[in-house]
Structure 1
Amino acid sequence: MPGWYTVAKWELIRSGMKFSRRSIVAVLLTLLLLSGVSYAVSLTGMNLDQKIYSVVTSSSELSNIIYNDGRFDVLPADSKDADITIVDDRAYISGTKKSIAAADALEKVFINYRETVLSSYNDINNSHTIWITIHDLERPESFQVLGSTTKKNDQSSDAGNENTDGSGENKRTSTAGKRASTITSPEELEDLENSNSKTLFERQTIATPSNFTPPIPFTAILYSFLFIFPIYFVSQFYSSSIMEERTNRRCELLLVAPLKSRDIVLGKSMPYILVALLLLSIISLYIERPSDIRELRTSLAMIAVIFPVLLLFFSLSFIAAIFSRSFKELTFAMVFFSVIVSGYVFFPAMFANVHTVSSISPMTLIVNLIEKGNISFGKYIFSTLPFYLVALSIYGFGTAIFREEDLFSQKTIPEKIMDCVEIFLLSPLGSVFSLSIVSIPFVYMAQLMLIVMLFNLPLPYSVITMIIFAAFVEETAKSIGIYTIMKRGSKPVKLKTAGSLALLAGGGFFFGEKLVSVITLAPIASSAFGSVMTMGTLLLIPLLLHVTTTMVTSLGMHFTGHRYYVFFLLLATAIHTIYNTYIIRGLLFS
């Protein structure tokens, strides 16, 4: 029996012992009660805005129109203190802010009533003298994803027909690249004249400006929020379990057992990962409600998309539990990581169907699966590969320091980070060259996060800010190994050694950067942000840049000491920023 399986079984039993039978029964009863109440409320059709406005009118016809809107409470004619009083053909408000809002809502009620009456007529040419066809235009941009092409500015996305189903929800289908057409054949007009109102709206786009809505998938985005809650919830138990092992020193039994660190980490992680996957599977089945093989594949695709997000959350929970010295620090670290990852995941998804930058987030793939039922493999790799690489790297570094010296010590977080780097450098395959390659996923994800935060700012400020922060992140990744060697004294560093370390670190980063560019950055290489991240197709000059800036930091610390690391890091960042600004000067100053 594998060692990790034994640890996983023990962890599952130990976690179950935390809860008594009474508490488990109480939780299950609470969940059943909440489910029953939610279902009962959904059947009653109750809304938060029911009867929030009061109206007084003596007209029975107006009363029937207003009464059909649940927001209004129609009072008898002799009532006082109403928000709106209707006398003949005039409406009077009481002067409060609530009455002003009620007047606006009342106006929309009559507009909707008028549209309903007009749509009920069979004489569509007289009832709808103006025909409006909606075309959602693509936003001009050079940021594109795998498998897509940049559209010309004179092309638009035809919204197609705006169908009204039995639930009253509007659905749109878009066909890219078609020009707007407002010509209707006489045969189609004759057919439409003989049709009723429902068929009319199903076959032809008829809309008023008040009904225009942008193609933002709010419902799908709200559904995607459901996936993050079980991940966050289970990760709290996961990090707390590891923290308890450290504070109570119960992990010593595992450390002295004939088990490898990776078996212990895998065994302690697997039960929580499986529980989270079970909850995510239930959510995906609830959202999709598969009735055939195709819909079942869509549900499985949702799990495949959310799995790397789960891995990243759990890896951050794992490393936070090892780095933290108390539950107070663990709480702060978990909140910090959760905010960062949640922002990275959900903020781009808010621009799904609006801006291609949304493809950075895996949640955009969830939205696409809910709406269309399928995604391309290229988009999956582009969105999820950074999550896989960063999560596996964090687990690797965390497993390396899963030892007594770090688990039961009060070292600071920077000291434990340097422990991770030092152990990696002392390993058989460890060097500053390979460390620079391993750091690429972290740099890549940090720069994508910068794109998320900066893409909607006006040019050139967004690009300039991106240049500065991207250069700082890259220089930190290249020099952290050299800084660790000089501070810890792992090896004697002479002038020749400092130069060779800089050459290896810069060369390794250049190699890893170009490798990532070939695999994933091709989709955004033509954009402004892609230019900052890849600097085009040049080879010799970027290699010289990476080696030179790393040489500045390495030689600077060699002559002055590691205490001036931050100063030389900022100097290298400035040189890197000047180079990047010169390369894309045409974009910034055109």
Structure 2
Amino acid sequence: MLKVAKFELKKSRKRYGARSLLLILLAAMFSAAMGYASVLTGIDSDKGIYTANVRVDLGTFKLSEDSDVVLYDGKLFVGQNDKSLAAADELLKYLREEHRKRIEAEFGELAHPVRVSVVYLNPSKITPPRTKAEGGGVKNETESGQLNVNETEGSKQTSESASKTPAATTVTGGEMTANVTQVKKSSYVPPEDIKTPSLVDRMVLAFLFVIPSYFAVQVFSSSLLEDKLLRRLEVLLSAISRSDLIFGKILPHLLFSLLSSLAVSVYLGSYLAFLFAIPVILLLFSAQTFVVMISRSYREATFLLLVVSLLITIYAFIPAVFSTAIPLSKISPITLLIASVQGEEINLTDLSLSFAHYLIMASMLLYFSMKALNPDIAHGKEIFQKLVEISRLSVTSDSAAFILAFLSISFAFMAELFAVFMIFVLPRQLMIPALLVCVAAVEELIKGLIIFSSPTARRAFFTALGFFAGEKFLILFNVLQEYSIAFLGQFLVLPLILHIATALLIAFTAKFGYGRALMLAAILHAIYDHTVVMLLV
């Protein structure tokens, strides 16, 4: 493996040269730095877009006789067009801010006798208040709709020290309590300017951990594709094993990605944060390897590599946007990475499930890639035929079918989450039917590929049993708890009957064609799901 890694380094050095590699590295660092700086300082794209008849100490305005707004005799005159109205809003906002600064400089804190403090609560830490009643029962401390804010013991401070030190606060209201930290700032912010914490800066930080990996992955996939199309891999396989070949070619590029993430962690002062990027990086490398192995041409590989990279990026980063609203977002390591950088506490169960989810998919893709290192699979045949052939080489027993079906629930979950993202563009009355159809198609495709390795009733039964066990495993860890209606997760016997019935249908109709077998199973699955959801839920 080390010999292959050394050969890969020499090949990359010869292909790109030291100067080219340096330029690529500098370009990556410059892009990351510019992106980070643009978020912190903003992009000055609106400089001088408005005009006024007087000089305004604001970058968006410039002096002009033919102005958008006119200040005359203490009055503001606005034209009847959108640009003039926007200029007036910008100018009034500037004048209000200048007025606030002036009265604060003259009167100090007395300029704002009434102040409102904003406390941001973490939804995951909100728990209902419970106190012991006289009869041994439990009753709520507060009436619904009330909100009481009480300082805990030892947190009472003077107004002078409160502006410098965070105050621990207990918030109780409407059957909820949460310990939060309220940071009081000395500067006053008008209520209309109060904004919720933005995820943009944190998302940019998360991208800094992964962006260098995209360059390394592209170099790796290009090198692997070249070796495959020129049949160099077949020559190398005559001297080394498949695992040594795959891991040897990945190793130097993977080390570069990990070192880049580690450098970002050190720079941010969060030395272990790079660990959360490892599952995403491994999934990128394994997915690119698998795509190269099943591609028939350079054009096909280029398209698939781009699509796969985009899908993994969406799957890793989009859940992090909803990190404070949807518990399901913790399935992404990027969500945990952002929490780690922010110094938040990370649940061990969330950490284990997130890492296992990504590492299982990465391991399976690498395993399938090794099976695809076969001249009969690597060259020729359609992609679906290659997948069936890989299944035959991978699933050699009924127990292997059970294990593979159990682990493949990670891929089903990923595909179904994409389906959840896409159905929101549909009319409301079509959302649930569309989701059920997508779920049926994804699950039957995955089960069908395993059953096609040996289309027998026994193989179908073990495949259905393994897939059912994987679904219940996710329900056990509350991953699909909020979406159990769509996935029929709250039932035990019904999903098992469904999976066995569709698996047997695939096995018995496979002789008429794989496409027909999958279509019949998906139709039965969708009808069954729709009937159960409509009648029992």
TM-score w.r.t. length of structure 1 = 0.74
What is the CA–CA distance in structure 2 between the aligned matches of 1:382 and 1:221, rounded to whole Å? 21
Deviates more, 1:431-440 or 1:448-457: 448-457
Task: State yes or no: 1:570 paired with 2:522.
Answer: yes
The match for 2:495 is: 542
Deviates more, 1:231-240 or 1:79-88: 79-88
- Work out which of the residue numbers 223, 232, 239 in structure 1 matches 2:221: 239
- Work out which of the residue numbers 444, 449, 457 in structure 2 matches 1:475: 444
The match for 1:178 is: 172
AA at the equivalent of 1:450 = A
For residue 243 of structure 1, report the CA deviation from its aligned partner.
0.6
Deviates more, 1:501-510 or 1:308-317: 501-510
**Structure 1 residues 343 and 44: CA distance shift in structure 2, 3 A:** closer
Deviates more, 1:268-277 or 1:345-354: 345-354
**Structure 1 residues 481 and 236: CA distance shift in structure 2, 3 A:** same
**Structure 1 residues 154 and 422: CA distance shift in structure 2, 3 A:** farther
AA at the equivalent of 1:530 = S
For residue 41 of structure 1, report the CA deviation from its aligned partner.
11
For residue 37 of structure 1, report the CA deviation from its aligned partner.
9.8
- Is the contact made by 2:472 and 2:489 (CA closer than 8 Å) also made in structure 1? no
For residue 274 of structure 1, report the CA deviation from its aligned partner.
0.6
- Is the contact made by 2:264 and 2:274 (CA closer than 8 Å) also made in structure 1? no
* Mapping 1:25-424, distance limit 5 Å: 47-57=44-54, 63=55, 66-67=56-57, 69-73=58-62, 75=63, 80-93=65-78, 97-122=82-107, 124-125=109-110, 127-136=111-120, 177-179=171-173, 202=185, 207-257=189-239, 259-286=240-267, 288=268, 290=269, 298-300=270-272, 302-407=273-378, 409-424=379-394
* Mapping 1:524-539, distance limit 5 Å: 524-525=480-481, 527=482, 529-533=483-487, 535-536=489-490, 538-539=491-492
What is the CA–CA distance in structure 2 between the aligned matches of 1:405 and 1:35, rounded to whole Å? 42
For residue 121 of structure 1, report the CA deviation from its aligned partner.
4.6
What is the CA–CA distance in structure 2 between the aligned matches of 1:425 and 1:535, rounded to whole Å? 27
For residue 264 of structure 1, report the CA deviation from its aligned partner.
0.8
The match for 1:511 is: 469
What is the CA–CA distance in structure 1 between the aligned matches of 2:148 and 2:279, rounded to whole Å? 32
What is the CA–CA distance in structure 2 between the aligned matches of 1:557 and 1:43, rounded to whole Å? 58
What is the CA–CA distance in structure 2 between the aligned matches of 1:219 and 1:172, rounded to whole Å? 23
Structure having greater relative contact order (Cα 8 Å, sep ≥ 6): 1
- Is the contact made by 2:52 and 2:70 (CA closer than 8 Å) also made in structure 1? yes
What is the CA–CA distance in structure 2 between the aligned matches of 1:43 and 1:456, rounded to whole Å? 32
Per-residue CA deviation, residues 193-230 of structure 1 (Å, 9 max, x unaligned), is: xxxxxxx9626x95433212123322112222223322
- Is the contact made by 1:467 and 1:580 (CA closer than 8 Å) also made in structure 2? no
What is the CA–CA distance in structure 1 between the aligned matches of 2:36 and 2:406, rounded to whole Å? 52
For residue 516 of structure 1, report the CA deviation from its aligned partner.
4.0
Per-residue CA deviation, residues 257-304 of structure 1 (Å, 9 max, x unaligned), is: 1x2111111111111111111222222333x1x2xxxxxxx332x211
For residue 387 of structure 1, report the CA deviation from its aligned partner.
1.1
- Is the contact made by 1:132 and 1:207 (CA closer than 8 Å) also made in structure 2? no
SS in 1 for 2:324: coil
- Is the contact made by 1:316 and 1:337 (CA closer than 8 Å) also made in structure 2? yes
What is the CA–CA distance in structure 1 between the aligned matches of 2:390 and 2:76, rounded to whole Å? 73
AA at the equivalent of 1:384 = F
The match for 1:433 is: 402
**Structure 1 residues 208 and 551: CA distance shift in structure 2, 3 A:** same
The match for 1:295 is: none
For residue 523 of structure 1, report the CA deviation from its aligned partner.
4.6
AA at the equivalent of 2:316 = V
For residue 413 of structure 1, report the CA deviation from its aligned partner.
0.9
What is the CA–CA distance in structure 2 between the aligned matches of 1:40 and 1:580, rounded to whole Å? 52
For residue 503 of structure 1, report the CA deviation from its aligned partner.
2.0
SS in 2 for 1:544: helix
What is the CA–CA distance in structure 1 between the aligned matches of 2:21 and 2:150, rounded to whole Å? 51
| Equivalent pairs, count | 504
What is the CA–CA distance in structure 2 between the aligned matches of 1:547 and 1:46, rounded to whole Å? 57
For residue 237 of structure 1, report the CA deviation from its aligned partner.
1.0
AA at the equivalent of 2:185 = E
- Work out which of the residue numbers 522, 533, 543 in structure 1 matches 2:478: 522
**Structure 1 residues 129 and 575: CA distance shift in structure 2, 3 A:** same
For residue 305 of structure 1, report the CA deviation from its aligned partner.
1.0
The match for 1:183 is: none
- Is the contact made by 2:448 and 2:518 (CA closer than 8 Å) also made in structure 1? no
Task: State yes or no: 1:485 paired with 2:454.
Answer: yes
Deviates more, 1:244-253 or 1:359-368: 359-368
For residue 106 of structure 1, report the CA deviation from its aligned partner.
0.6
For residue 457 of structure 1, report the CA deviation from its aligned partner.
8.5
What is the CA–CA distance in structure 2 between the aligned matches of 1:572 and 1:362, rounded to whole Å? 35
What is the CA–CA distance in structure 2 between the aligned matches of 1:223 and 1:470, rounded to whole Å? 34
For residue 384 of structure 1, report the CA deviation from its aligned partner.
3.1
SS in 1 for 2:454: helix
For residue 39 of structure 1, report the CA deviation from its aligned partner.
12
Query: Structure 2: where are the runs of 5+ without partners?
Result: 130-143, 156-164, 175-182
What is the CA–CA distance in structure 1 between the aligned matches of 2:225 and 2:307, rounded to whole Å? 17
Deviates more, 1:439-448 or 1:152-161: 152-161
- Is the contact made by 1:503 and 1:547 (CA closer than 8 Å) also made in structure 2? yes
- Is the contact made by 1:255 and 1:404 (CA closer than 8 Å) also made in structure 2? no
**Structure 1 residues 101 and 543: CA distance shift in structure 2, 3 A:** same
- Is the contact made by 2:289 and 2:369 (CA closer than 8 Å) also made in structure 1? yes
AA at the equivalent of 2:349 = G
The match for 1:187 is: none
- Is the contact made by 2:398 and 2:459 (CA closer than 8 Å) also made in structure 1? no
What is the CA–CA distance in structure 2 between the aligned matches of 1:280 and 1:159, rounded to whole Å? 42
SS in 2 for 1:522: coil
- Is the contact made by 1:348 and 1:452 (CA closer than 8 Å) also made in structure 2? no
What is the CA–CA distance in structure 1 between the aligned matches of 2:35 and 2:527, rounded to whole Å? 60
- Is the contact made by 1:230 and 1:279 (CA closer than 8 Å) also made in structure 2? yes
What is the CA–CA distance in structure 2 between the aligned matches of 1:43 and 1:219, rounded to whole Å? 7
**Structure 1 residues 123 and 256: CA distance shift in structure 2, 3 A:** closer
For residue 314 of structure 1, report the CA deviation from its aligned partner.
0.9
SS in 2 for 1:133: coil
